[in-house]
Chain A
Amino acid sequence: MEYVVETNELTKRYGRETVVKGLNLKVRAGEIFGFLGPNGAGKTTTLLMLLGLSEPSSGWARVLGHDPVKEPLAVKSKVGYLPENTGFYGDLTARENLEYVANLNRLVDFERRLEETLTLVGLIEVQKRLVSTFSRGMRQRLALAEVLIKKPGLVFLDEPTLGLDPEGITTILELIARLPVELGVSVILSSHLLHLVDKVAHRVAILNKGRLLAMGSVAELAQAVGLSEPNLEEVYQKYYKASGLEDAA
């Protein structure tokens, strides 16, 4: 399968407001795909539609070969989603939180997988501690473990570095960078923090007010707007100005 995500004129309207307008995306297998845009650009709404949690008003999407509207369970069993500001059951331990997610995924004999995942995110030593005692960085790593426990083919990470200190950001970004290489997981990384996405993303899509402004590698996009140095910050600003929507940035 060449593309893990493919959308065609994907549109979402809430009443009279159109929050995603005719989106055409193609995300390749094994890549880290940066999904960029300011708050309210339509990034989370798009992810929810791709996951089958929100129905498109028009257009269609294919995620790992499945239609999220007709086969939401097939999509959700293969796709991990880390929502922005994800929460935990503070009265349960890290392991118990993870076990609950494993049970929701109807995983059987998941003991070894549990150990592997906790080791991967570096929480194996603190697995029996209550999550309420965890730092923000540890919680975010546990969130990543919850996404990975089902061995997904694709993960959607919505602002995974939000509220983290520089050390926490580095740890999370390193983990994200390892996903395609070590686990063969494709990643859609939604963020408005361009310098962070620039460190790990193979290709990016820039959204504003629900519209796709550009899609490609940073080098391709830089070349298209006449920049000699491929720099995501500058590319982003150029596309904004060109679209006439910079007021929203």
Chain B
Amino acid sequence: MRAIIRKELADHFSSTRFIIIMALIFMMSFLGANLASQGIKEALAAGGREYMEGRAFLLLFTASGALFPLTVCLALFGPLFGLVLGFDAINRERSNGTLSKILSQPIYRDEVILGKYFAGLITVALTLAALLILLGSFGLIGAGVVPTPEELARLLVFWFVSLVYIGFWLGLAIVFSIVFRSVATSALAAAALWILIAFFLPVLGQALGRAIAPTADPQRPTYEELAQQELVNQVVAKISPTGLYNQAAGVLLDPTNRGSSEAFQVAVSSRVNRILLNHFRGGLSFSQSVALMAPEFLILVGAALATFILAYLTFSRQEVRSI
């Protein structure tokens, strides 16, 4: 399996598509971080040090300026990264005539799929680590903020959550590469699913919310109506890997974020209550944030495992005559 992983890693890091998608993610993240670091510098100069205590460094990755912050960038383009690494993993070998050659060597069939999956995961892990380190260094130099150990711990868990999230898409792409014989069909199916989940599902959640809990007076919606709509939104977000990732990443990188339950509370509480809630609440500790995002993270892990197992079983049971 080591030979396959080595070969796949070399292929990934030297492929043009990898360089293009990486350039896109790095460029957007850096632009976002640049704007965020300027904002942090200004806020610190204006005396906001106390307010940003323990999360100034994390703001580099989450603060939204004129562009996407890293978390949103990864939520949207991370799937594309996973899909690009896997959509032709098997059918490319099949159409090149190299799959039967590999399988006739003294290796188990599992090793082919495991090798390709792990090589993809290693590529994602290394790229994400490089991105976080570069952005962090950028923050250190640009904004002059030094990360606390807790912030570093949050970033480490965020790296792992992102890896699992992109791993889900990688597994899905490999399934497509096994099921579809044509590389073009596999790419098209993967892209269609990405667009559906990343862009249409959130819109669908809002539309469903409005359909299930319509507002009697659209100009003055009641808190109950808003709460019901938010509830539907959350249910839809729970079936979307992108929604789950957004929630988990939001809680991890922003200690004041209380996850989906907070959105629900805010929706049902009165305006005065919300102001009071924001004024008096403190940041969550690292362990509290981890505990809060655990359900979303576990669902993501389950989904990533499910796609990998599906790829594994589909490939293992495929008759060699059709390979």
Contact = CB atoms under 8 A, between A and B. Distances in A.
Contacts of A110: none
Contacts of A237: none
B319 A88 contact: no
A217 interface: no
B7 A73 contact: no
A87 B92 CA distance: 11
A53 B103 contact: yes
B106 A83 contact: no
Interface residues of B, number: 20
Given A48-B321, A54-B319, A104 B100 contact: no
A105 B105 contact: yes
B100 A86 contact: yes
B322 to A, nearest CB: 10
A100 B100 CA distance: 14
A199 interface: no
Contacts of B108: 72-73
B48 interface: no
A88 B98 contact: yes
B4 interface: yes
B320 A48 contact: yes
Nearest to A78: B106
Contacts of B283: none
Contact of A76 (B3, B104, B319, B320): B104
B126 to A, nearest CB: 21
B98 A87 contact: yes
B106 A101 contact: no
A48 B320 CA distance: 8
A54 B321 contact: yes
26 contacts: A14-B319, A14-B321, A45-B321, A51-B104, A53-B100, A53-B320, A74-B106, A76-B104, A81-B100, A81-B104, A83-B97, A85-B97, A86-B97, A86-B98, A86-B100, A88-B96, A88-B98, A100-B7, A101-B101, A101-B105, A104-B105, A105-B105, A105-B106, A106-B3, A106-B106, A146-B101
